[in-house]
Each structure stands twice: as C-alpha cells, then as structure tokens.
Structure 1
C-alpha cells in the first residue's frame, strides 16, 4: 500500500492516453508534467492541432513538453529537472532510450492494450479482433529497452464480444487502462521496488507481434474466407476501415454479417444479391457476407437501404467487387 503520493510524469498523445490521464487526475495524483508528441497539422487548412492529452493537461495547468525525440541531452536533462518518482507511458508514440527509462526514481511503466506477452507492438487491440481472440485486456508493465518486453506488474482482462469492433474495444480498454493504473499505484510499495526484479517475467515463447495498421491492408481480398474478412472489417472499424471497389468506385465497408451460402460456385467478390438488409458478396470459401453499413467516397456512412436508394445500379448484373477495369 502506497501511503506517500508519487510525483508522476505522464507521457501519451491520443484519446486512449487521455482516458488514463483523466483517471489519474480524478484520483488526485500529482502529475508534475505531461509529455506528448508535437502538434500535427489537421483538416483542410492544415492547422496545427493539439492532441487530446495536451488539451487535457493545459486545462489542468500542467506543464507540457513536446520533444521530437530524446536524442538531445537537453531533452533528458529537462525530464530529470522534474525529479519525478515515476513516468506513466501510454500510446506516446516515441521509443524511450535507456537514459529516459532510468531517469524517474521508480522507472517508467506502460499501460498496454493486451494481456502480455500476447500482442506486443503498435496495434494490439485490432490484431486481437482480427485473429479471433476471445479476450483482451490491459497490462501494466515495467518498461525496459525491448518492445513491450518488460516485467508485468498488473493485468486486467476484458472479454471480446462477438460483434466487437476496433472502436468499441478501444473505448473499453481506454477506461480499463485508467482503472488499472490507479489500482497499480494504490498497491505500489516503494520499499519493495527493485527495477531488475519486480513483477512477473514475460514468457517470450508465448509472444506475438501486433504490426502497425496500414491503409493498404484494409483493402478486402475476397479470396479469403468469409469469417476472416468479417473479423478484419470489425477490427478495422474506426481506422483504417476496410474497403473494396465496385466498377472502379471505392466503397468503405463498416459492418458486415454472415450471409447465405450460394448454391453454385462463383468468383470471389461476386454480388449474389441485394436488399434493404444488405449487399451479399461471395467469399473465397464460397460462403457469403452481407455488407450492411457502407460509405462511398465523398459520402457519409450509411446503411445498405440508403446506399441502394441512390446507387442501386452499382450492384445490378452481379458485379465482382474489387476487380480492376
């Protein structure tokens, strides 16, 4: 039990991190500084926009630091000047050198969106859904020089529902991450801390890597099985969003569900039927998917009924989705 408030530096940038920072502030933790990535240009005007963590920090009058990296000695010296006990890192977006990891008295801990050692890396939430995992969760981890390889300090599990999307699981884990870090800090005992022997060692033989998402891999390959495609559609719901094309017109696919197996073999990607309930497309295993929520380029997301009301001709004569020319 920690009876002495810790002086904490928080490092993170997007919404997922802001949820954890908010939870720490609500519990009254002493956040002496916040680190986040430099502001990025956004929108048509390409104006520099502060990220969610920076906005939250400024709203609480917390000093904000935004170094490009920690390659400059002055950046590490600035970090050390805060004399922090602990650095809490979540979705920061920068690799931290050993000099940074060693600066706070009790090192740096990371809020990671999986049950380690499964899904180390940049996209653990989406990869868990894409690969059909039954559960995910949050791991509080003592950071070391490896990528998500440090000792595990606390784990909270979260089931993955049948219709879970990348967006919905992201939001659940964002809340759970705040709960987990507060629980860890409540139970933290400084007198027992030993950076070299603290927490549960990860079993590297059970590790797998969650590669960063790319827009390219979001294009649907209709030669894959229906179940695999449906999982990826759910996983990428949020970003980058799966897409296909119909007569060379790009079409984002936000939601789909199992369809009816066709009676005869057809080319993967063939539209086998459509109604207000969805657009049915045959997949590589000759099962079909019913595409229920879609988005043509230049339009908003809509259900199949709305799409067919304005673009029914796109799906007549059994076109093959994704085909070129």
Structure 2
C-alpha cells in the first residue's frame, strides 16, 4: 500500500516506526509546524518529523488542511491508506475520503470511552481499571468512527500518565500491525460505537493541578498520577508551590488523628505523610520552584515539615 502518515508527538513514533518496517510505501508524512520548545523557546522539529528526516521521507507541515491547494496536494499523492496518530489538526471529509482503503486513527482509549484530547489522563483520574488502544475508521465526528481492532492494558495504581502513555504508544503500534493488511477489505469487520457509552476526555487545564486535601487520598493519588508529566499536581507550601510528582497511599496502619485538618503533614522527618479528607497520602517525589525534583527523604532532610499544613484548591 501507499500510506500517508499524519502524527506529531512522541506517542505517534512507535506506530510510524512499525509502518516503516512493514514493507509498505510511506509516500508522505504530515506533522504540525515546528514550534518553540524548551527553556530557550527555540523552534524545534517534533519527534515524528525527526524520524521522517532520518528515513528521507517528504514531510508536509501545513497550518491547516482546509485550504483547497493543500487538499489537492494531498489527493495527488494517491494514497491507499491514511494513518493518523495524535496529529492535532482537523481533517476535512475530502481528505478522509481520498485514500482508496480509507483513513484510520490510533486512539489511546477503549472507545467509545474517553473520546477527545486527554484520554490517558482522564482514564487515570476516573479510576478506570483498564484502558487500551482502538483502531478506528475516521469520520467527521470526533473519535466516533467504527472500531476495527482494540487491545487493552491494565491501569496499575502506581502508573503515571507518562508511563501509561509509553505503554499505550507501543500497544498502538502492535494493534495496527495486527489489522493493517485487512484494513479496507471485506474480511475486517467494523463495529459501530455505542453512543450511549461515549464519554469525553477534555483537554487538561493548568488550574487542575492544585490538590484539594478534603478529597479522599485515593482520588488525590489518581490526580497526582494523571498530571505527571503535565501540569504536575501541586499544593501550597508556605508562600511557595510544592509540585508533587509521585505519591502513594500510606500503609493501612497509618491514620491521621481526628484533630488533623486536611493538608496537615503528619510525619515530616522520615516520611512525607499528609492528612486528607479520607486516608493519608504519602508524598514520594516533590519539587520547589527553581529546585530539583527530590525524593521525599532528600526533601525532608532540608525541610522539617512536621505539623505544617499544605494549602489546597479549596480552603
């Protein structure tokens, strides 16, 4: 097949690498325009573009595909298949309909649950026991196309969004590999999504970072995991903000006294235990503004936090 690939971030790289190894012809790669990144805000190519350049494949970076000239340019490629993974631009119907075998998307959830921009983070926040990847035919409505193949993955309590992201990116490549040859042929049965089961994974917002200590510890742990690596959970630490990269539920025998207000540090010399609305959250890795990420013991060696109260989203 002549395949056009559209993707931008690191999540798309394993799928593109699988296609490059598949023996099919990758006739063009679409990715978003280069953007400023890093502390110096220098313009840098994205991960997909870097991989494309290593293989000498033509890279297209239009600002939009709504322009008739860009649409004609795409159609002139005469692709058999369009594969889309976290591309980040809206694809008009004429683009989706152009390939002979159609257009497919690799989506990081078990559709119809968690359509939208942040399925990995929302699945962790919601306490889902499992997630996965779905290969679907693309239609104009967001993430609503017929499902061609799915693979599942458990969400373990200690998994951060960063770690789950990496697992699902590899799983996405495997899922597409398993059904690639049959896409667009009669033998591959497509399953329509049940609209009554659809949920929406809204984009993460910076204001979601601040923890509300009156919530149960297990909910706060989900929030910490879901917001790593961005925007990173945080709490008020005196006049500063303390970023919380990793946490865990305190052992079953550790309880906060009835007098301890949510956000109170119960033990701040050897372990970083914080009272919540229900249960105790143990902070494992934290960071102050301008400082390095530190494990809790290293942080407590420099800061005796016993008895202090971390502020939160609702006081």
Provide the TM-score with structure 2 as the length reference. Answer: 0.94
Q: Deviations over 1:212-269 (max 9, x none)?
A: 1122101111121111001111111222211112102111101111222212143211
Aligned residue number for residue 319 of structure 1: 309
Say whether 1:298 aligns with 2:290. yes
Decide whether the 8 Å contact of 2:269 with 2:306 is kept in 1.
no
Say whether 1:155 aligns with 2:150. yes
Q: Deviations over 1:263-282 (max 9, x none)?
A: 21432111122233x31111
Gaps of 5+ in 2: none
Aligned residue number for residue 258 of structure 2: 264
Following the alignment from structure 1 to structure 2, what is the Cα–Cα distance between the partners of residues 216 and 91? Answer: 24
Q: 1:284 aligns with which of 277, 286, 306?
A: 277
- Give, in angstroms, the shift of residue 126 of structure 1: 1.2
Instruction: Flag the 1:323–1:238 CA change in 2: closer, same or farther, 3 A.
Output: closer
Following the alignment from structure 1 to structure 2, what is the Cα–Cα distance between the partners of residues 13 and 252? Answer: 28
Instruction: Flag the 1:226–1:9 CA change in 2: closer, same or farther, 3 A.
Output: same
Decide whether the 8 Å contact of 2:268 with 2:307 is kept in 1.
no
The residue matched to 1:136 in structure 2 has which SS?
strand
Aligned residue number for residue 58 of structure 2: 63
Say whether 1:309 aligns with 2:288. no
Aligned residue number for residue 3 of structure 1: none
Aligned residue number for residue 221 of structure 2: 230
The residue matched to 1:116 in structure 2 has which SS?
coil
- Give, in angstroms, the shift of residue 304 of structure 1: 0.9
Q: For this pair of structures, how many residues does the alignment match?
A: 312
Instruction: Flag the 1:244–1:61 CA change in 2: closer, same or farther, 3 A.
Output: same
Decide whether the 8 Å contact of 2:269 with 2:301 is kept in 1.
no
Q: Deviations over 1:269-316 (max 9, x none)?
A: 11122233x31111123x21111111111112111111112233xx24
- Give, in angstroms, the shift of residue 163 of structure 1: 1.4
Instruction: Flag the 1:83–1:115 CA change in 2: closer, same or farther, 3 A.
Output: same
Q: 1:90 aligns with which of 85, 92, 108?
A: 85
Moved more, 58-67 or 315-324: 315-324
Moved more, 42-51 or 75-84: 42-51
Instruction: Flag the 1:189–1:208 CA change in 2: closer, same or farther, 3 A.
Output: closer
Decide whether the 8 Å contact of 2:118 with 2:202 is kept in 1.
yes
- Give, in angstroms, the shift of residue 317 of structure 1: 4.2
Root mean square deviation, CA, Å: 1.8
Instruction: Flag the 1:232–1:92 CA change in 2: closer, same or farther, 3 A.
Output: same
- Give, in angstroms, the shift of residue 323 of structure 1: 8.1
Following the alignment from structure 2 to structure 1, what is the Cα–Cα distance between the partners of residues 165 and 183? Answer: 26
Say whether 1:174 aligns with 2:174. no
Say whether 1:38 aligns with 2:28. no
